[in-house]
Structure 1
Amino acid sequence: MKLLKILGFSVLTILAQSCLSADEDPVKLAPISGKNLTPNIGGAAQPNQVWVHLSTGEMTTNKRTDWDLAFYTGEQFRVLINSSIISAVGKIPNATDIDKITAKDVEALQDQIQIGTFDANNLKYIDNPNGDFRNQTSGIGEIKDTDSDNSIYLLNMGRDIYDGTITTGSVITGGEHRGWMKIQILKTATAYKIKYAKLEESSHQEYVVSKDSDYNFKFLNLNQKREVVIHPKKKMWDLGFTVFTNEVYTAEGQAAGSYVFADFVVSNLVDGVGAYQVNVATGQTLDAAYNAFKLKDIDASKFIFNDQRAIGDKWRITTGSNGAQVYSNRFFIIKSADGFYFKLRFNRMTNDKGERGHTTFEYDPL
């Protein structure tokens, strides 16, 4: 499979077309140019998460270890864990006082709250990989009105960024283990209150996270005891490049639990981003198929709006005689958070030395 190279940065500015408001009145859209982008993933340890706004070409970057918990700012009270650092979380049975929980109490539970155990049951310790967090029964449950109804959880804090040597063509997504915390999350009318402590500590700390209507999530770094901005504001990002905890299968339909994926692309479900894959016909080149695809060719029935893995790992292959490379027989159609349509193709996933974590892609408005 031939690895494609970027041929240039010259693209035409095209007027975006055919977006309608809810009452079917035409909306005048500003011109948008296609772009070639190289998100700063950071190499084979993939230390960074990158959030891309297709309408402007802006990219926002953070370290994967910058945050631990994400607090939803919508109507529900939902809290997510950091999938990118191989984190996991589970309820501590019969726990009522966070300060009285000791390492001995959860010794057996620590062996279970892990990623990559090839046990289908361990999916309950992660957030729903498809991104439907509002309805998930795994991870941290919906925060209840009554304090005593909210469970105390054991949080596997995941792993630091690996800082050693990595064989060319390979990735290592996790370094030293970051430890364990016990947490309990409560609610007020407009905010979350989290109680937290390291597992070996006998007294907890508290932090209040207020909702902010400008963002879909507020993010908290527990070790630094501070909030951090990770996602851009609402509708200001479409695709995210990240390490990702996904469901893995050992055979067709045979789940093997959670497993960490590198070189992963998620879409912004909360703001209505959808995507689908277009396969290049036999006998046609990717260049020809991509260039020929127009707005009229969009099949609206194929858009995936209910799974953040619509692109996921489907754009690249990491095994085989040619090593890690992008597929040359497909591209993707995106409906962005602000209603634009784009075609997008991946050109590389390595640099000239063969090091992973150097993805390049191009996209054009339809």
Structure 2
Amino acid sequence: MMKYLKILSLLSIMTATQSCLSADDDPVAVRPMTGSEVNVTLGGATEPNQVWIDLSEHENPNINKRTDWDLGFYSGDDFRVSINGSLAMTVIKIPNATDLNKVKANNVESLKEIAQVGTFDAENLKYIDNPNGDFLKQTTGIDAIKANDADNPIYLVNMGREIPAGGNVAAGTVSLSGDERGWKKMQILRAPNGYKIRYADLNAENENIKEYIITKDPEYNFTFFNLKTGTPVKIQPKKKKWDLAFTTFTNEVFMGANSAGSYFYADFIVTNTLNGVGAYQVNATGSLDEAYSTFKLKDVDPSKFVFNDHRAIGDKWRTTTGTSTNPTAFVYSDRFFVLKDAEGFYFKLRFNTMKNSKSGERGFTNFEFDPL
């Protein structure tokens, strides 16, 4: 009888323990046992899509249009707001502005001329997010949101460029920047557990100024907001549910050793550094096939991982050369990458294509990966 009671008690404890695990809780991450080949759905030569991939669940990437969002509101302890670099957006403080109603288009014409991407002026880095992804420490873009409302400036927002309609894009090239998306005036304040955004078109009066309260969501890095629809949107997966994002990107460009400011890039890859994803490049000596196939977990060099710059892969996997009439774009055949994901698993990755094999159209990325 005593033995029976002990068994019954043990079963009861096991049942109770299992019932404490909510159906909504994320399951324990399991490393893929085999590698896979992934076709990234960028959408062709206009690269309209952003694609967020978790290597452990690569069959179900998050995909959104680049124009689905404009601002990202950080969910952590700090009060930080990012802008959509995939559209070449910029922001600039409007000097001495304290009242949204008084900001008019004719007051800011001179600011419009400088708050641009691709002017080959190092000064324009002031108007974008830090290209390395460290938005918590950046002194560019939107300032940290202060507790005192009056300490938060009013910004002129360059909404960037629309996704082009497409059409006849020459093989091997891209068409990323369509019509201008216009300008907004904006102020962001703190709210209980979140933010208050006040924004409008440049000449709007008080009755046309819109306000929205954005609440921090601890399951996500950011709550994203669309200024044109006036609504929050889900863009990134949950914090640890993505490793790589394929996107267009506003980066810093150099002329020789000197910065030439912000510039708009195609075929760019960022890593989820905010949640511990790191990567580094391995240069192959001799055959890439052999170097990749023989690379094992014991060969990983922890000292080489880049955890403080989400451009660890960036544009290093491909190159573009030639001229606009005779372009050449290809994937490097002398390198692959090692990645440590958000759950602490290790992978090796190699990139195979950046173009459609038949038409030569850009925006058709293919890569393969293997767990280590």
Please say whether Structure 1 and Structure 2 have the same fold, judged by a TM-score greater than 0.5. Answer: yes
> Is this contact kept in 1: 2:31–2:56, CA < 8 A?
no
AA aligned to 2:308 is: N
Partner of 2:50: 49
Partner of 1:362: 368
Find 2:335's aligned residue among 330, 339, 364: 330
1:259 CA drift (Å): 0.3
Answer yes or no: is 1:74 the counterpart of 2:76.
Answer: yes
Q: Distance in 1 between matches of 2:343 and 2:235?
A: 19
1:345 CA drift (Å): 0.3
Partner of 1:121: 123
Q: Distance in 2 between matches of 1:342 and 1:134?
A: 28
Partner of 1:33: 34
Partner of 2:13: none
Segments of 5+ residues of structure 2 without an aligned counterpart are 1-27
Answer yes or no: is 1:197 the counterpart of 2:200.
Answer: yes
1:31 CA drift (Å): 4.6
Answer yes or no: is 1:172 the counterpart of 2:179.
Answer: no
Partner of 1:97: 99
Q: Assess, with a 3 A threshold, how the Cα gap between structure 1 residues 184 and 350 changes in structure 2: closer, same or farther.
A: same
> Is this contact kept in 2: 1:68–1:222, CA < 8 A?
yes
AA aligned to 2:225 is: L
1:191 CA drift (Å): 1.2
Q: Assess, with a 3 A threshold, how the Cα gap between structure 1 residues 31 and 107 changes in structure 2: closer, same or farther.
A: closer
Partner of 2:179, secondary structure, is coil
Partner of 1:181: 184
AA aligned to 1:248 is: V
Find 1:276's aligned residue among 280, 285, 288: 280
Find 2:228's aligned residue among 207, 223, 232: 223
Bigger Cα displacement from structure 2, 73-82 vs 319-328: 319-328
Bigger Cα displacement from structure 2, 148-157 vs 193-202: 193-202
Partner of 1:267: 271
Q: Assess, with a 3 A threshold, how the Cα gap between structure 1 residues 123 and 276 changes in structure 2: closer, same or farther.
A: same
Once the two structures are superposed, residues 140-162 of structure 1 have per-residue CA deviations (whole angstroms, 9 ceiling, x without a partner) of: 00000000000000000001101
Q: Distance in 2 between matches of 1:250 and 1:31?
A: 42
Q: Distance in 1 between matches of 2:79 and 2:317?
A: 34
TM-score (norm 2): 0.89
AA aligned to 2:361 is: E
What's the C-alpha RMSD, in Å, of the aligned pairs? Answer: 1.3
Q: Assess, with a 3 A threshold, how the Cα gap between structure 1 residues 146 and 42 changes in structure 2: closer, same or farther.
A: same
Q: Assess, with a 3 A threshold, how the Cα gap between structure 1 residues 295 and 82 changes in structure 2: closer, same or farther.
A: same
Q: Distance in 2 between matches of 1:95 and 1:31?
A: 54
> Is this contact kept in 1: 2:129–2:141, CA < 8 A?
yes
| Largest Rg, 1 or 2 | 2
Q: Assess, with a 3 A threshold, how the Cα gap between structure 1 residues 257 and 227 changes in structure 2: closer, same or farther.
A: same
Partner of 2:108: 106
Q: Assess, with a 3 A threshold, how the Cα gap between structure 1 residues 94 and 28 changes in structure 2: closer, same or farther.
A: closer
Partner of 1:152: 154
Answer yes or no: is 1:297 the counterpart of 2:287.
Answer: no
Q: Distance in 2 between matches of 1:339 and 1:121?
A: 38
Q: Distance in 2 between matches of 1:223 and 1:189?
A: 24
AA aligned to 2:56 is: S
Partner of 1:114, secondary structure, is coil
Q: Distance in 2 between matches of 1:99 and 1:335?
A: 49
Identical residues among aligned pairs (%): 58
> Is this contact kept in 1: 2:32–2:371, CA < 8 A?
no
Higher helix proportion (structure 1 or 2): 2
Q: Distance in 1 between matches of 2:138 and 2:150?
A: 21
Partner of 1:241, secondary structure, is strand
> Is this contact kept in 1: 2:29–2:343, CA < 8 A?
no
AA aligned to 2:139 is: T
Q: Distance in 2 between matches of 1:33 and 1:114?
A: 45
Once the two structures are superposed, residues 202-250 of structure 1 have per-residue CA deviations (whole angstroms, 9 ceiling, x without a partner) of: 2311011000011010000011111110000110000000000000001
Q: Distance in 1 between matches of 2:327 and 2:86?
A: 27
> Is this contact kept in 2: 1:246–1:260, CA < 8 A?
yes
TM-score (norm 1): 0.90
Bigger Cα displacement from structure 2, 52-61 vs 294-303: 52-61
> Is this contact kept in 2: 1:85–1:159, CA < 8 A?
yes
> Is this contact kept in 2: 1:32–1:56, CA < 8 A?
no
Partner of 2:136: 134
